[in-house]
Amino acid sequence: MDGMKTDFSGSELEKAGMDYNPVTHTGEQTAYIALGANIGERERALYDALTHLQAQEKIQVVRCSAIYETDPVGYEDQPAFLNMTACVRTTLQPDELLMAMLAIEKQMGRVRDIRWGPRVIDLDLLWMGDTSWNTDLLTLPHPRMGERLFVLVPLADIVPESAVELHAFVHHALGTLDGKEGIRKWSPCKWPSESGLSASFED
């Protein structure tokens, strides 16, 4: 699921009773990121990406979902993916966070040659507090996250009830989608214990 801009009217969020107004903030915000990999050591790549995110001065990874193995979507002639989501806190603006994520993808060897094709790592910015964003590079909330079980199932692991709008959206969307047989739990999240870092699991 590419994190770059696609056409989005906000209708999906409006159906769930959620506002879609251009709003930005300057303080620390909570953001949700989707991670995926289907080339090489897939699980290792996910944990490496989390470590790279944590290493950024203005990003703190606060929790992550379980890892799920999922059938490919869109371009099906490729290996299965491992997918997860992470919750981060950051003082970066959405476009700055996206640039940091793209830099991590490049550092890890991501090549963009086939849309929805194989990748060593994929990072997508899904949601950032109550921020709405619509530029040539980025749309927030992510326009297709309500259509992707490989995003929604991991998100359901980590979005607390206190995040009222996002929690309602995730569980509403999960109730409307078929194909749950195409996603299988792979393992619990072993990060940050593997890296020796500590993180709060409270929102």
Just list the catalytic residues: 110, 119, 122, 124
Q: Which of 170, 160, 169, 127 is nearest to 34 (CA)?
A: 127
d(CA 103, CA 56): 11
- Do 85 and 33 form a contact (C-beta atoms < 8 A)? yes
Burial 126-135 (b: 16+ CB within 10 A, else e): bbbbbbbbee
Angstrom distances, CA of residue 86 to CA of 33, 56, 106, 181, 199: 5, 15, 19, 23, 12
Q: Which of 55, 59, 138, 151 is nearest to 98 (CA)?
A: 138
d(CA 153, CA 199): 22
